[in-house]
Amino acid sequence: MTNDNANVQERMGRTQWFLEDRFGMFIHWGLYAIPARGEWVRSVERITVEDYQPYFDQFDPVRYDAAAWARAAKQAGMKYAVLTAKHHDGFCLFDSALTDYKSTNTPAGRDLVREFVEAFRAEGLKVGLYYSLIDWHHEDYPAYGDRIHPMRDNEQYKRNPETFDRYLTYMHGQVRELLTGYGKLDIMWFDFSYEEMMGEKWKASELMAMIRSLQPHLIVDNRLEASGEHGGSIFTSHPSSYAGDFASPEQIIPPQGLTDSDGHSIPWEACITLNNNWGYAANDQMYKSASTVIRKLVECVSKNGNLLLNVGPNALGEIPQASLDILAEVGAWMTSNSASIYGCAQADWPKPEWGRYTQNGNKLYAHLFEESVGPINLSGLAGRVKQARLLADGSEVFVTRPWNTAQYPHDAFVSLAMPAHASYPLPDRRDTVIELE
């Protein structure tokens, strides 16, 4: 069944590359890298604009080397990246003509967004920009001053819609700057709507009309309309013009792939941190292992989704070494296994007991997370497997039917070792991939 809604049709065209690429880097970077307690520090600790000002006066990331970031992303197997051009604190990493609160006015003296887009494009990666709808610094945003918790400021908004209009002019103007001054962008990542602050409160149809006219191929997340409570009309058969091109589950991988009310798959991207913070947090060493990252990437792809994995560079501009180490190990796995990720999607078979399937046409990828006792059961695949090979080295895997499988006539079995009924360690304990034709 196809959907004749024009927004859905156009979305399918725009998101084609996104559904193939599957793996991207999220980068949260700004003044908050100096206090190093996460990007929400100003709100959580009720820091006033004045008390936050020293971080602006000190911001001098002398080791920022966008080319080094781009190499780390590329070597990890990532195909695109999204940088925080402006986060909730309102600080701009780009040379906006509409504010003085920008990196070019700090000791950094540089347009950090420009360096980012140029370096990542040079590595062949697609580039996206995160732009916060919320702004704790702009005087016309209803959460100005020390009342900076956006969830609690609707009363103030209701009292003063005229001044909020001035903020919207600023916000739309900055989006225009980003879309006209930095070449071809691939993603705009808006964050976030809440309570009644959503959709047309942001003048979203006007904003989207501008985006579509300036950069028609660009894809947009669903957060002009989605809040924590609901994902917006992208989940219906007739999405609005600002419903977005993909859903954006945060710090969660949905239990099943995401579908609209007609049961059609929706493009989605889980954004997940490497430790427990988005912005740099000096005391947060709760890093996910490379193994976990690989398996979670596989899980996303097995449910038709993408993974946008976050790093938080420090005040000097470096991606933390612990993050780089994990990315390098993920990259080592991707080097020999990425055919089971790029261009792959949910398989035609249900999730197996020992791991997950991904699929690309007639290639089915069995991702073994668990060691097996005896031959590995490919449920329901009896007579359908033409050939099986280890993806990492191309070596043949035995499609086998030893005596102890006779009672399971509908299942196919493969074995990584002879004799076929032996137990054996997996060649790659993170995820051993068997390519089945």
- Between CA 143 and CA 280 the distance in angstroms is 24
3-state secondary structure of 185: coil
Structure tokens, 98: 């509409």
Taking CB under 6 A as the rule, does residue 278 contact ligand H79?
A: yes
- Write down the least CB distance from residue 384 to ligand H79, Å: 41
Q: Which is nearer to ligand H79, 40 or 413 (CB)?
A: 40
H-helix or E-strand containing 168?
helix 161-181
Q: By CB under 6 A, tell whether 271 contacts ligand H79.
A: yes
- Shortest approach of ligand H79 to residue 278 CB, angstroms? 4
Q: Which residue is closest to ligand H79 by CB?
A: 40
Contact with ligand H79 (CB under 6 A) among 52, 116, 192, 413:
192
Q: In the bound complex, what is the minimum distance in angstroms from residue 248's beta carbon to ligand H79? A: 8
One-letter identity of residue 48: T
Work out whether 250 is an interface residue with ligand H79 (CB under 6 A): yes
What residues between 325 and 354 interact with ligand H79 by CB under 6 A? none
Indicate the DSSP class of residue 319. P
Residues sharing a CB contact under 8 Å with residue 31, sequence separation 6 or more, in sequence order: 52, 55, 56, 59, 89, 91
Write out the binding residues for ligand H79, residues 31-50 only, by CB under 6 A: 39-40, 44
Please work out the total of residues on this chain that contact ligand H79, with binding judged by CB under 6 A. 9
Q: Please identify, using beta-carbon distances, which residue of 26 and 59 lies nearer to ligand H79.
A: 26
Q: At a CB cut-off of 8 Å and minimum separation 6, what does 255 contact?
A: none
Rounded CA-CA distance 195/193 in Å is: 7
Q: How far is the CB of 329 from ligand H79 (least distance, A)?
A: 24
Token pair 């796995």 in the structure block, residue = 333
Q: How far is the CB of 24 from ligand H79 (least distance, A)?
A: 13
Structure tokens at 240: 């609005």
CA nearest 156: which of 98, 193, 196, 200?
196
Closer by beta carbon to ligand H79, 37 or else 367: 37
From residue 94 to residue 133, the character string flagging contacts with ligand H79 as x (rule: CB under 6 A) and all else as - is ----------------------------------------
Strands 187-191 and 126-132: parallel
Residues near ligand H79 (CB under 6 A) are 28, 39-40, 44, 191-192, 250, 271, 278
